[in-house]
Amino acid sequence: MRLRLLLALLWLAVMVALASTPSPEDPSSGPLANAVHAIQHCVFVIILLSVARAALPRLPATVLLAVSASVAILVGAGQEWYQSLLPHRTSDPTDLLYDAAGVAGGLLLWIVAAALRGRRFQRLLAAG
């Protein structure tokens, strides 16, 4: 549990560090920057789900998904606010859409992985 929480905090620190670096003025960095937003939040929500599942194993999966997604999106909103305070960065509300897309992708990956784990577990029970 502690390792998962440490991983979540480290990933959050990476996200803040990336949000703090000066933004390149190259227009071709747009799609790459959008992908970075999505990937960051995809990984972050998966880590949050792992922490939440370990800390609260009896909580329904739908609640874990909703809370983890909300936290990840709130972190994205916080990043945009933080960037609006920096002289070398600007805040772009459309970045939140890419954050949300990454969160949705992370949730989907988590659900698919859980379904596959469940099937594998059911096959092991049937074989034994």
With a CB cutoff of 8 Å and minimum separation 6, the contacts of 96 are 73, 76, 77, 80
Note the pLDDT of residue 21.
85
Average pLDDT over residues 107-122: 86
Range with the poorest average pLDDT among 41-45, 79-83, 103-107, 114-118: 114-118
**In this structure, is residue 113 part of a structural domain?**
yes
Note the pLDDT of residue 26.
47
Per the CB < 8 A criterion, the answer to whether 106 and 45 are in contact is: yes
With a CB cutoff of 8 Å and minimum separation 6, the contacts of 106 are 41, 42, 43, 44, 45, 46, 49, 72
List pLDDT tens digits, range 33-74. Answer: 889 999 999 999 999 999 999 999 999 999 999 999 999 999
Indicate whether 100 pLDDT > 90.
yes
CB atoms closer than 10 angstroms to residue 92: 16
Per the CB < 8 A criterion, the answer to whether 75 and 15 are in contact is: yes
Could you report how far apart the first and last alpha carbons of the chain are, in Å?
A: 30
**Which residue from 31, 121, 41, 33 is spatially nearest to 75, judged by alpha carbons?**
41
CA dist., res. 128 & res. 125, Å (int): 5
**In this structure, is residue 26 part of a structural domain?**
no
**In this structure, is residue 41 part of a structural domain?**
yes
List pLDDT tens digits, range 4-28. Answer: 999 999 999 999 998 888 866 644 4
**In this structure, is residue 97 part of a structural domain?**
yes
Average pLDDT over residues 79-106: 92
Total count of domains within the chain = 1
Length of the chain: 128
Indicate whether 119 pLDDT > 80.
no
pTM for this prediction: 0.86
Average pLDDT over residues 96-122: 90
CA dist., res. 64 & res. 52, Å (int): 7
Note the pLDDT of residue 28.
42
DSSP codes of every residue in 65-84: HHHHHHHHHHHHHHHHHHHH
Structural domain harbouring 68: 2-21+31-127
